[in-house]
Structure 1
Amino acid sequence: MARYTGPVCRLCRREGQKLYLKGDKCYTDKCPVAKRNYAPGQHGQSRKKITEYGLQLREKQKVRRYYGIQESQMLKYFNMADKMKGITGENLLKILESRLDNVVYRMGYAASRAEARQLVTHGHFTVNGKKVDIPSYLVKVGDEIEVKGRSKSSSRFKEMIEEHRGTTVKWIQVSPEELKGRIVSEPSREEVDLPIEEHLIVELYSK
């Protein structure tokens, strides 16, 4: 299935909460979720009885949209998580957090995951000194992510240094002045800032 290219604010309204897909706009009064906190479409305001399957499906869709991944990728990550030691749901979130586009966003070098995905695709970042232009690339402990040499002189990245908000997660150590960061530990479940009930996703895929 092709990637969704419509208004992303509709996705937030469909899930009934902010997924922070539009960057700074999500933190203002202009956010459509704050104005119209109901699903989009003709029947968006009608009350519907949601089934157990519906709850599981909505949770899975919410996570997919939050990280900007397709169904085939989501299923691939679930199968990976299921084979790992530990709790499958938490393993799944750790994998999603380890995606390069998410790491760039967490480092504060993009206003949204969509922007981070675009920056990675355009080849602005290196991992351990080698250019990586695959947003789904999974980083691991010890990896060093850095803005590529030429890109550091661009006005876009100079603005990042001035406006850098800093990472909100402890598993990434960031050096804003050098436009680089290092993965110092595995992602922590507690640091996933979106309310996610991952056990519902596990139940859905386990059927």
Structure 2
Amino acid sequence: MLRYLGPKLKKLKQFNIHMHPGFSTKYSILNKNFIKNNKAIISFYLLELLEKQKLKFTFSLTEKLIKKYILFIHKYNYKKFNISTIIEARLDKILFNIGYSITIAQARQLIVHGYFFVNFKLITNPSFLIKIGDIISLSSKSSFIFKLCKKNLYIKYIKTIKCNLNVYICKKTCLSIFYSQINNYTFNSYNNLLIIQYYLH
């Protein structure tokens, strides 16, 4: 199954997601009862499936990529590694956390179009995993990204970023980031154990 390209608000209702970047305007006009109360008996397998589908929708992941992450977790120690630690190390998620994009989809598009370098090497794969000490740089054609930073509602979650010895990332003098530690902000909570159990049946 490839990435979901249909109506996103429909999926937000289905997965009971109350917050998603880029949907604040639509959410403001919805009442509190926009999610139907389903009192039917739900099996444990269905709970696992819904958690997996919610993860796929939120971060635009493919089935093949999720299986790759699960095998990595199972091969090593899943008590130390989980889905969250891998997702938060992805380049598209880090750019969203930093404030270079308003949505995950926008971060993916900027990466694919060649706006970012990692360790001075062009990266066009949104699922590229960033390690501590990596340097994320902007290309010369990405001056408009600084305007996006100022509009980003989630910029307040940035606390520990070293950028040319300046903690303010939106200044035009900041052209690269030394990735040391970023306080991650996950806008949708999901159960890591249910997702892992779904693939280990």
Q: Provide the TM-score with structure 1 as the length reference.
A: 0.80
Alignment of 1:159 with 2:147, yes or no, is: yes
CA deviation after TM superposition for structure 1 residue 21, in Å: 4.9
Fraction of identical pairs, as percent = 26
Find runs of 4+ consecutive structure 1 residues off by over 6 angstroms.
Answer: none
CA deviation after TM superposition for structure 1 residue 57, in Å: 0.9
The structure-2 alpha-carbon separation of the partners of 1:55 and 1:146, relative to structure 1 and needing over 3 Å to count, comes to same
CA deviation after TM superposition for structure 1 residue 151, in Å: 1.6
After TM superposition, list the pairs within 5 Å mapping 1:56-135 onto structure 2: 56-87=48-79, 90-135=81-126
Cα distance between partner residues in 1 of 2:101 and 2:5:
19
1:42 corresponds to: none
Q: Which runs of 5+ in 2 are unaligned?
A: 164-168
Which of 178, 192, 197 is the matching residue for 1:198?
Answer: 192
Deviations 1:60-86 (A, max 9, x none): 111121211011111111111222235
CA deviation after TM superposition for structure 1 residue 192, in Å: 3.6
2:178 corresponds to: 182
1:36 corresponds to: 34
CA contact (8 A) 1:81 1:91 kept: yes
Q: Which amino acid aligns with 2:95?
A: V
Cα distance between partner residues in 2 of 1:123 and 1:78:
28
CA contact (8 A) 1:105 1:113 kept: yes
Cα distance between partner residues in 1 of 2:198 and 2:149:
42
Deviations 1:57-115 (A, max 9, x none): 11111112121101111111111122223516x42211111111111111111111011
Q: Provide the TM-score with structure 2 as the length reference.
A: 0.82
Cα distance between partner residues in 1 of 2:20 and 2:95:
15
Query: What is the CA RMSD across the aligned residues, in angstroms?
Result: 2.7
Q: Which runs of 5+ in 1 are unaligned?
A: 39-44
